[in-house]
Amino acid sequence: MAIGFAYFAGALQHSALVRNYAATGVLAKWVTEEDCENFLARTSATYQQFRELSREFEVKDPLYKKTEFNLLNKRPLIASGKELLVPVPRFLAYRVSEGIYFDIMDLMSDPGGKANPFLSYFGRLFEEYVGKLLKWTFGEDNVIHEPLYGKPQRGGPDWIVLDGQTALLFECRTSRLRLDSKVYGQQADLIEDAKRIFLETLSKYSEKVEDLQTGKAGVNVRDIGRFERVIVTYDPLYLESYFRNIAAEEAAKGGVPYSNDYHLIGIADLEVLSAWNNSNSIQSVLFERSRQVANGSGDDFNAFVRRYSREHGLATGHPLLQQVQDEFFAARFDLEAQVSEAPDSSELAGA
């Protein structure tokens, strides 16, 4: 990640970089040219290699050309002789952050079809992260991890937040849309993905709320007058109204009672809501969103958050995430002490 962000920083200033850019300047004491080459083996491609690798994801029908997988997600650096080009720098930032997920997933996948242990571990890790975010926001005493109860044992929502007379019931989901679903958007594929990502979770909410209200779950909710159902996904689900329609149709097919009173949000949305909580409480924002959904709003939750931010003049940075970022780099590099020793940036560009 550190090497990747070094190249990313260079790409924001220069049109081209020398191959060993990350091993120069302020990082020279920590990054070697060998480190750079190992990094580039996973993240770069020559023009010829880029064309060949792109063919693996080429769509058969030109109708879907605009949604074809962009190889810059995997190979954001283009090697041209002794220089590196970065056509879209944000793809590089993505590659060395969220893109690492796919590296590990592929590394631990089993051709025989066994469950991928990394995905199971990541699911638990994601749930713990959501809990950490909620505890930072509401305080330890107001956040309850999944209650386990009954015989056979059942589980409540992943996280319960008691906020005044409202209980926010969070479920965490790391399943995501498959590549074919994103490229072709076929309804049958999207329905199967929706079932895996959130429909099964949604169908269990009513029973979990009932168990809370009757005391079976062992959580004191005597003063709670409202339960807000919130499904937090690792991958954002765009076209939210479409997925809500799928949920309603599938519930009707199965004869299952259905309510549109729930929130389907990505983890980035929760991070933003958490940052706002002191001035604009999460529950007030969710209540506003519920009113819009009831009135037929077709916006994605992410679009709603952006508009809400503009209307209320709210920033989207999060103190906890900034702290984690600062600690990550401080633990590896004493950059502040090196700035005065850094050569002029024009000497490093290679352009």
Q: What is the pLDDT of residues 242-284, one digit of tens each?
A: 999 999 999 999 888 889 999 999 999 999 999 999 999 999 9
pLDDT for 327 equals: 87
Look at the block and give the residue holding tokens 């269990």.
Answer: 204
Would you say residue 104 lies in a domain? no
pLDDT for 69 equals: 95
Would you say residue 110 lies in a domain? no
Instruction: Write the CATH number for 297.
Output: 3.40.91
Given a cut of 70, is residue 306 above it in pLDDT?
Answer: yes
Tell me, rounded to whole angstroms, the distance of Cα 261 from its chain centroid: 23
Same domain, 130 and 268: yes
The residue segments making up the domain with residue 298 are 121-317
Same domain, 129 and 273: yes
Same domain, 302 and 332: no
- Which amino acid would we find at residue 226? R
Q: What is the pLDDT of residues 27-49, one digit of tens each?
A: 888 899 999 999 999 999 999 99
Same domain, 184 and 58: no
Same domain, 332 and 313: no
Same domain, 84 and 158: no
Residues 209/171, Cβ–Cβ less than 8 Å: no
Number of folded domains that form the chain = 2
Given a cut of 50, is residue 147 above it in pLDDT?
Answer: yes
Q: How high is the mean pLDDT of the chain?
A: 91
Same domain, 33 and 135: no
Would you say residue 194 lies in a domain? yes
Would you say residue 112 lies in a domain? no
Residues 119 and 96: their CA atoms lie apart, in Å, by: 18
Q: What is the pLDDT of residues 278-303, one digit of tens each?
A: 999 999 999 999 999 988 877 899 99
Would you say residue 47 lies in a domain? yes
- Which amino acid would we find at residue 29? K
Residues 7/17, Cβ–Cβ less than 8 Å: yes
Would you say residue 213 lies in a domain? yes
Same domain, 194 and 88: no
Same domain, 311 and 338: no
- Range in 8-12, 183-187, 329-333 with the lowest mean pLDDT: 329-333
pLDDT for 333 equals: 67
Same domain, 78 and 158: no
- Cα→Cα distances 286→133, 163, 314, Å: 17, 13, 16
Residues 145/190, Cβ–Cβ less than 8 Å: no
To the nearest whole percent, how much of the chain has pLDDT over 90? Answer: 81
Residues 70 and 63: their CA atoms lie apart, in Å, by: 16
Would you say residue 107 lies in a domain? no
pLDDT for 347 equals: 44
State the helix-helix crossing angle for 117-138 and 99-107, rounded to 10 degrees: 150
In 3D space, the residue among 143, 172, 138, 140 whose CA is nearest the CA of residue 160 turns out to be 143
Q: What is the pLDDT of residues 171-195, one digit of tens each?
A: 999 999 999 999 999 999 999 999 9
pTM value > 0.95: no
Same domain, 309 and 336: no
Query: Who contacts 48 (Cβ-Cβ below 8 Å, separation ≥6)?
Result: none
Would you say residue 105 lies in a domain? no
Same domain, 215 and 234: yes
C-alpha atoms less than 13 angstroms from C-alpha of 312 in its C-beta half-sphere: 18
Top-confidence residue, 350 or 92? 92
